[in-house]
Amino acid sequence: MISVNLISKSYGAKQVLNAINVSFKPGEINGVVGENGAGKTTLFSCIAGLEAYKGQIDYNQVSIKSRVGFLPTNPHFLSKITGKEYLQLVCNARKVKLTDFKEQNIFDLPLQQYAETYSTGMKKKLALTGILLQRNDIFILDEPFNGVDIHSNIMINQIVMRLKALNKIVVLSSHIFSTLHETCDYLHYLKQGSIIKSVDKTAFDTIEKDMKSSGIDARIDALNLK
């Protein structure tokens, strides 16, 4: 289990996360929702060990950084590295012995091509393939369904469900409530750097209603649509 205890994060004078308390258990899929700028990506980066923070994150008394696969919203790759070379690199980092990725190339990516030339969706699928091949115990997926084609969305959904069945810890974000309803067991509403509500699957609608009632109608009315 991952226990996030009183995590706070600031960039200069700007407070991005404010005393976050939340836990994630194996075999459960946790979704994190919130408006752009609410702090979702920063929270994920802190859990993945990519950002310094105040507070404490506990995971089975071992280093979480060596057990986590983090899929960023917009993956970036080294210049002049092919898809295959990238997969080899991330496998080597976890001492996974793979050299031929034909069978593992489930998204049919052009692995001999430079990764920096991939489309946005292809980059996301390459990065996802990489963290899956690493055999991680924790998967933090920032907008995994955004920017990919419909067929790949179905595949990613099935991958997430397979990870759940394998008793992995899965934490993801999405702006699509139908996707969250379909995949997640728990949902956490992050607003202005604080988790203001955490619910199980039976109460997902309450978070959707809360988000819709937070001034959305007034903003749309300001357009004076006719």
The structure's pTM equals 0.91
Domain map of the chain by residue range?
2-67+137-221, 76-136
Q: Does domain 2-67+137-221 have CATH number 3.90.950.20?
A: no
Q: Which residues contact 93 (CB under 8 A, 6 or more apart)?
A: 134
Distance CA 54, CA 7 (A): 6
Closest CA to 129 of 117, 185, 115: 115
Distance CA 185, CA 204 (A): 9
Q: Which residue type is seen at 84?
A: K
What pLDDT does residue 61 have? 64
Q: Which residue has the tokens 């980092």?
A: 93
What pLDDT does residue 98 have? 85
- What count of residues does the chain have? 226
Question: How many beta carbons lie within 10 A of that of residue 83, not counting itself?
Answer: 26
Tell how strand 138-142 and strand 68-71 pair up.
parallel
Instruction: Give pLDDT tens digits along the chain (226 positions).
Output: 999 999 999 998 899 999 999 999 999 999 999 888 889 999 999 999 999 999 999 998 678 888 999 999 999 999 899 999 999 999 999 999 988 899 999 999 999 999 999 999 999 999 999 999 999 999 999 999 988 999 999 999 999 999 999 999 999 998 888 888 889 999 999 999 999 999 999 999 898 888 877 667 677 777 778 7
Whether the CA torsion 150, 33, 36, 225 is positive or negative: it is positive
